[in-house]
Amino acid sequence: MNHSISQGVPKDDLSKFSSLRVVGDLVELLNTIVPEEDKVFVVGHDWGALIAWNLCLLRPDKVKALVNMSVPFSPRNPKRKPIESLKAIYGDDYYIVRFQSI
């Protein structure tokens, strides 16, 4: 099986990777593999926990229960981007903040 080599993320268009787009992708996946009347158990960890929180908030009709590890719920702040909030709380050396420069 050949999966080829990834060319990486196009740095000029990261819009496909916003949390809302990823939630949309999850909803599309659930619509494909789960009967419409069923709900799912969701487990999120680390960065995936942020996506899991948003899935539950935006589409509670799809989720029966949620277990998240490593990341507590933090509501969005309309006055500040999430990275700015993380930087203010944890500093420049926090791994998620550091990954922004890659």
Taking only the tens place, the pLDDT of each residue in 42-63 is 999 988 998 999 999 999 999 9
- What are the boundaries of each domain within the chain? 15-71, 74-102
Q: What is the pTM of this model?
A: 0.76
Q: What is the pLDDT of residues 17-27, one digit of tens each?
A: 888 999 999 99
pLDDT in the model for residue 4: 63
Arithmetic mean of pLDDT, 11-39: 90
Q: What is the pLDDT of residues 60-85, one digit of tens each?
A: 999 999 999 987 888 888 899 888 98
Q: In sequence order, what DSSP letters do the residues of the chain get, joined into one string?
A: ----------TT--GGGSHHHHHHHHHHHHHHHS-TT--EEEEEETHHHHHHHHHHHH-GGGEEEEEEES-------TTS-HHHHHHHHH-TTSHHHHHTT-
